[in-house]
Amino acid sequence: MHFLLPKFAIIAMLASSIFNVILDYMFLFVFGWGMRGIGIATIK
């Protein structure tokens, strides 16, 4: 079971990075929040 932990960590980091890119795009271009929106997307 312990051999799955590194794989899970990589998948979790990849998923959070992709989610951050999507939120950055939405807050910057869709909502027009500028740098404030990017900051909010990164914190969430």
Per residue of the chain (44 residues), give pLDDT as tens: 677 788 999 999 999 999 999 999 999 999 999 999 888 888 86
Query: How much is the pLDDT for 2?
Result: 73
Rounded Cα–Cα distance for residues 44 and 19 (Å): 10
Query: How much is the pLDDT for 27?
Result: 92
What would the two tokens of residue 41 be? 């997307």
Rounded Cα–Cα distance for residues 23 and 16 (Å): 10
Q: Provide the whole-model pTM.
A: 0.76
Query: How much is the pLDDT for 1?
Result: 64
What would the two tokens of residue 39 be? 């900051």
Sign of CA pseudo-dihedral 13, 16, 17, 18: positive
Query: How much is the pLDDT for 3?
Result: 73
Rounded Cα–Cα distance for residues 11 and 29 (Å): 27
